[in-house]
Structure 1
């Protein structure tokens, strides 16, 4: 029995990936699988492809993403609630999450279809914005949720809490709430720690804090994190999910963050090694000598 009988393909809308997309589709069509292509694929090959529905993608047994990390983040937020595993083909710049190189694509996909692969589950964040005892917005994130001031060169003041326990009052440009996946993204640039994907934790990383003692802290992902904006006439903040979804915040709003019910399921070739990715992509550490 075919392990992945229905495969979705999600592509970044970039003409530079057309050849990679064509090669993948030709290979998949030669296998005993049903293939669904998203709107990005259809835009690159309008004469050959039709865009499938979001429901069809969520019903796939595997989705292959061709693009950069941003393409995978977008697909991850949409597909993780349905429990769909994702395999990433790197056609972006860094390719930290889309770890299969185009010249290794066919061999890697063949291994995955044959049942030889490594799957990992990455925790995601679920957030809601509470305003005057009502929930006014909801969002999910693979990498991080970022609260920052919309005004240029101006700090915001906010409080953080873990469940009902007060953590601190902060004056900073904002704060990054990062998953282990996001710990190697914006949070790392902000001085946060690298957290292994297998750790059930979340990092709170203040952005350019006023106090030198206001350092990043790592907390359990099983607890609720609460970030409340302090009142003030000049409060114009925004919350961003994965750098892609933005929602405005008002004074006294509280962002309540928990671990999402469903994790992101990532599929890797059997040779995948997280620390090798750190060394080769981020130039962290050193190779054996």
Structure 2
């Protein structure tokens, strides 16, 4: 806190007047002795006053103009507010030519094999790049039957998920498949993520804007640095266990499920889901925002999603769709037992705390981008906030065009039959005139 703020606090404390009790009769007999207005308790401790105005993180928004009329202003704060760059100006640039590329393909899909071989051959032979693939790719029986792939098999560099650290080894990523390939890339890089170029070879393809028909031209343009970027924010989820032993014993029941190494902190691109699991009872989840109790969720569960995840599970639960450049966190209940519990949007800089209510009849289950499903016991808590490590997704056109194209192609947003025009307006519509409806009405009056 600055010196002028300390002086202001001291002046407020010096000018404050404590409330003195007076006889009721005197107050009634004379207007001058009327009771003094009640005042809120004044904080005399400057340390406590500092805590009231200091935040541990920014709300991820630009600083507003701080003058309101001739007198009003915002009290100055020593915390620095981060200035947000215009999303339209976010473009890819290389400090040096990229040399290594990680190619992620959709598993168990024969339709991706031919594009995968074509891409790897072109990167190796035409661009002389070092190509990384997952070690399981080399064990694909159908892929090993391809003559061209067998010729380049030994030139590929492999890694094992969960074991090898790819940080500072990969210059950019190419995904071949559906949205799951981009989620998998986010899981592999739990800190800084290289730029991701996703080709649509899957089912929905909401996060994969590129088509594989002319991949050579598109990749060449990206390698030359001619591409726009969408910084897709991720959620940082931190688990706090009350009893690690109880978690280990109970977690053995779900040992056959596909799991990645569990960690106290995990970054998710879409959403973190807390649900009631196999229990027949309603889930009862307490929700806190920046340490303040907000509400209890009684229903099937809760979805905490990023703007990118707002078009995934959250939109199926009735949430609004948020552009990925908007700094926000979406909180969506799953089948709430309340008619007034609507999805809400909170600032990206807040911290959400989710815990099983002490009155809950059962435990809850939590999953991160559909993986690492584990049980949330009484006394456990999950803290969620926006991560400082986004996923830089390369755009096919730009941030706005790609998103609305995905809404139209993937979700058929606002698709309906066009309404027919009125006969009396058919000439106006056909001619493309810019006349207003008032001018049309005036014309009718003069014709009469």
Q: TM-score, normalised by structure 1?
A: 0.91
- Which residue of structure 1 lines up, in the alignment, with residue 104 of structure 2? 10
* 2:232 and 2:308 in contact (8 A); partners too: yes
1:39 to 2:135 alignment: yes
| Structure 2 counterparts to residues 27-106 of structure 1, below 5 A | 27-29=122-124, 30-44=126-140, 45-46=143-144, 47=150, 48=153, 50=156, 52-53=158-159, 54-56=164-166, 59-79=169-189, 81-106=191-216
Q: Deviations over 1:255-279 (max 9, x none)?
A: 1111112111111233652112211
1:199 to 2:326 alignment: yes
Unaligned runs of 5+ in 1: none
Q: Relative CO higher for 1 or 2, CA cutoff 8 Å, sep ≥ 6?
A: 1
Q: Larger radius of gyration, structure 1 or 2?
A: 2
Residue of 349, 353, 370 corresponding to 1:222: 349
By how many angstroms is 1:19 displaced? 0.2
Bigger proportion of residues as strand: 1
* 1:10 and 1:41 in contact (8 A); partners too: no
By how many angstroms is 1:115 displaced? 1.9
In the aligned structure 2, how far is the partner of 1:12 from the partner of 1:232? 43
* 2:275 and 2:365 in contact (8 A); partners too: yes
- Which residue of structure 2 lines up, in the alignment, with residue 138 of structure 1? 265
* 2:179 and 2:208 in contact (8 A); partners too: yes
The 1:248/1:138 distance shift into structure 2, 3 A limit, reads farther
SS at 1:81 equivalent: coil
Q: TM-score, normalised by structure 2?
A: 0.60
- Which residue of structure 2 lines up, in the alignment, with residue 254 of structure 1? 381
Deviates more, 1:58-67 or 1:106-115: 106-115
Q: Deviations over 1:192-223 (max 9, x none)?
A: 11111111100100000001111111001101
SS at 2:217 equivalent: helix
Unaligned runs of 5+ in 2: 1-94, 145-149, 248-262, 419-448
In the aligned structure 2, how far is the partner of 1:157 from the partner of 1:233? 5
In the aligned structure 2, how far is the partner of 1:40 from the partner of 1:82? 24
The 1:108/1:125 distance shift into structure 2, 3 A limit, reads same
Bigger proportion of residues as helix: 2
By how many angstroms is 1:286 displaced? 5.6
SS at 1:8 equivalent: strand
The 1:267/1:281 distance shift into structure 2, 3 A limit, reads same
By how many angstroms is 1:23 displaced? 0.9
The 1:117/1:101 distance shift into structure 2, 3 A limit, reads same
1:22 to 2:22 alignment: no
| Structure 2 counterparts to residues 115-194 of structure 1, below 5 A | 115-132=225-242, 137-194=264-321
Size of the aligned set, in residue pairs, is 288
Residue of 281, 284, 289 corresponding to 2:410: 281
SS at 1:37 equivalent: strand
Deviates more, 1:163-172 or 1:151-160: 151-160
* 2:192 and 2:390 in contact (8 A); partners too: no
By how many angstroms is 1:11 displaced? 1.5
1:210 to 2:316 alignment: no
In the aligned structure 1, how far is the partner of 2:139 from the partner of 2:346? 43
SS at 1:24 equivalent: helix
In the aligned structure 1, how far is the partner of 2:217 from the partner of 2:136? 24
